[in-house]
Amino acid sequence: MNKDLLSIKELDRADIMAILKRARYFKDALKNGDKTPTLAGRTLALIFDKSSTRTRVSFEVGIRQLGGSAIFLNRGDIQIGRGESIADTARVLSRYVDGVVIRTFSHDTVEEFALNATVPVINGLTDLLHPCQVLSDLFTIEEKRGTLDHVRVCYIGDGNNMAHSWIYAAAKLPIQLTIACPAGYEPDEAILAEGKKSASDGITLCHAPAEACDGADVLYTDVWTSMGQEEEQGKRQRAFREYQINQALLVRARADAIVMHCLPAHRGEEITADVIDGPQSVVIDQAENRLHVQKAIMDCLMGGKTSDEKD
């Protein structure tokens, strides 16, 4: 595994499965009350330009459960907010902490930081990618369905950072991915083309959400308007009106299909309340699993102790 986790693209299948296996170990250990201080004495810095609930809390709680500590830094807390270069910030923080999570707008920022840091850097979200979320989603699907092999995932909504991360996941694993989005809101063309080249079970882009749901094992969606797009909200609500997971779409999926959402959710927009709060929704389990998967990521990157469970 590389020093950093910036994108699922940089992982191979063995890396992904090792993270998921380690997450299962940590989840089971926590349930059994076992202490797993594999990162005792280590410190994680969290640099956030975007607000967060799940990413921040799961990383802070996770590092503490592993015996380490966390320092939360927004742009106004550090000199990068007053013009210090990303490179200098990365070099200096590398002398103080054992790992860095960055949640920001431009993916270039995360890449430049990782290039200059000597400690692991984890992408907590950029406008381009959200790898930690999709790794947690993979863990949840495996947990609920028993396998990831040949699972049919239907993603409905914006071709955003979530769609891009799902494309990279489908390029690494035998997952059949269908993305349904309005014209003009498709995923990045280069990312889509790259994913299609490597995806063993195929990646399909379409503009018909109903057909996309046919026979799906997983229905997945995200908000229509992400952070930084607030000025487009009215336009997006009109464009995405038909791209809502509701009962009419759910009945087209497999009878045992699960419903997923990376949260926060806007009930009545991208998903209806009866579906997200219904019996086929695994959204809260999905959110919980951010904790266990991010513990696994930190453990793999920040030098956790070797154990049989980690092999």
Tokens encoding 257: 């299909």
Residues serving a catalytic function are 103, 130, 133, 222, 262, 290
Q: Classify residue 105 as exposed, middle or buried by CB count within 10 Å of its CB (0-12, 13-18, 19+).
A: middle
How many other CB atoms are found less than 10 A from the CB of residue 172? 21
Q: Classify residue 262 as exposed, middle or buried by CB count within 10 Å of its CB (0-12, 13-18, 19+).
A: buried
Q: How far apart are CA 159 and CA 147, in angstroms?
A: 26
Long-range contact set of residues 80-84: C-beta below 8 Å, sequence gap at least 24? 80/47
Q: How far apart are CA 181 and CA 218, in angstroms?
A: 16
Going by C-beta distance under 8 Å and a sequence separation of 6 or more, which residues neighbour residue 69?
42, 43, 44, 63
Going by C-beta distance under 8 Å and a sequence separation of 6 or more, which residues neighbour residue 43?
68, 69, 70, 71, 96, 97, 98, 99
Q: How far apart are CA 181 and CA 208, in angstroms?
A: 8
Q: Where are the beta strands (DSSP E) in 58-114?
A: 69-74, 99-103
Q: Which residues pair with 123 in a beta bridge?
A: 102
| Single-letter amino acid, residue 113 | F
